[in-house]
Amino acid sequence: MLRALGVGKGDRVFTLLGRCPELYVTILGALRNGSVVSPLFSAFGPEPVATRLRLGDAHVLVTTRAMYRKKVADSRSALTSLKHVLLIDEDIDDDIGEEEGATATGFWRWMEATPDGAPIEPTTADDPALLLLRDQVDLDSMDWLNFLVGIHKRLHVDIPEADYRKLRTLADVVGYVAHLPAPDADLTAELEAVAADAHDAAHMCLAVLEQSLNSYDAEFTTRVDQADRHLKEAVAVVNRQLAQESRSSRG
């Protein structure tokens, strides 16, 4: 099927699916074709999905019609590398109309037209097979992060524009924000604690959503409560500094 679409060795095949048969069919077929597989977490929102498709140079996306409409359609025109969208819905037998884009089509339509016994593409140990972009973050959607950065800006700590381009993973973001110099040692300590607790809580959420066997109920609640408490303390530090500035200006 992939060869019929002009997808070859090294091309990126992305999936945006739950745990369904089509997910495993796509992964095995892409590996057999010598293509690079990149599974996307189905709970991601539109902006994180678009970011990963763009950064990963996606050539093919396999998903459902509902997920496509909700998470991909609005950004499709900007995803210049994305040539094919295959929708697994059973009622899709032919090319989809303008609403889904000119090259969205039915997954099973192509599967049924594919002959059995396609040859396996030869690969070596140096050929990539899997591309994971799970640590990529959409900074605009992380309100707590923007708030922390805003606190630093309000306290006249300069953040060079060039630094934003370096924040590519969650670890980069947490490390940068937590260790950004602040005029007040107490504020720095509270921000470091917020970043650490929020980071841990976020990883627990991902583990649960991916059906981890571990239970994080109590620990997650503790981390969120701690982050909230430290964030309130950080705000209190800022308010004290603002009050002090106000008194100084009146004096």
Q: Looking at the predicted structure, is the pLDDT value of residue 242 above 80?
A: no
Decide if 4 is inside a domain.
no
Residues 244 and 147 in one domain: yes
Average pLDDT over residues 192-215: 64
Residues 243 and 145 in one domain: yes
Decide if 121 is inside a domain.
no
Q: Are 195 and 216 in contact (CB under 8 A)?
A: no
- Lookup: tokens for 130: 């899997």
Owning domain of residue 51? 12-112
Integer Cα distance of 17 and 115 in angstroms: 25
Provide the number of structural domains found in the chain.
2
Contacts of 137 (CB under 8 A, 6+ apart): 48, 167, 169, 170, 173
| 58-107: pLDDT as tens digits | 999 999 998 998 899 989 989 999 999 999 987 765 555 444 444 678 88
Q: Looking at the predicted structure, is the pLDDT value of residue 139 above 80?
A: no
Residues 106 and 169 in one domain: no
**pLDDT tier, 142 (very low <50, low <70, confident <90, very high otherwise):** very low
Nearest residue to 119 via CA among 9, 33, 36:
33
Decide if 130 is inside a domain.
no
Residues 160 and 81 in one domain: no
Integer Cα distance of 170 and 137 in angstroms: 6
Average pLDDT over residues 130-148: 53
Tell whether the torsion through CA atoms of 160, 165, 169 and 170 is positive or negative: positive
Residues 99 and 146 in one domain: no
Residues 102 and 150 in one domain: no
Residues 107 and 152 in one domain: no
pLDDT computed for residue 176 by the predictor = 65
Q: Which amino acid is at 185?
A: A
| 212-228: pLDDT as tens digits | 555 566 777 787 788 77
Decide if 161 is inside a domain.
yes
Top-confidence range, 35-44, 79-88, 162-171, 213-222: 79-88
Q: Which residues of 101-125 are buried (b: 16+ CB within 10 A; e: fewer)?
A: beebbbbbeeeeeeeeeeeebeeee
Integer Cα distance of 122 and 125 in angstroms: 11
Residues 101 and 42 in one domain: yes
Give the residue with greater pLDDT, 68 vs 181.
68
Single pTM value for the model: 0.55
Which of 94, 112, 130 is where one domain is finished?
112
Which of 60, 94, 112 is where one domain is finished?
112
Distance of CA 180 to the CA centre of its chain: 24
Decide if 122 is inside a domain.
no
pLDDT computed for residue 144 by the predictor = 47
Residues 85 and 154 in one domain: no
Residue where the block lists tokens 């607790």: 197
Decide if 202 is inside a domain.
yes
Average pLDDT over residues 197-216: 62
Decide if 199 is inside a domain.
yes
The proportion of the chain whose per-residue pLDDT surpasses 90, expressed as a percent, equals 14
Residues 26 and 105 in one domain: yes
Residues 89 and 144 in one domain: no
**DSSP of 66-107:** HHHHHHTGGGGGG-TT--EEEE--TT--S---TTT-TTEEEH
Decide if 48 is inside a domain.
yes
Strand partners, 130: 37
Residues 25 and 79 in one domain: yes
Neighbours of 140 (CB within 10 A): 10
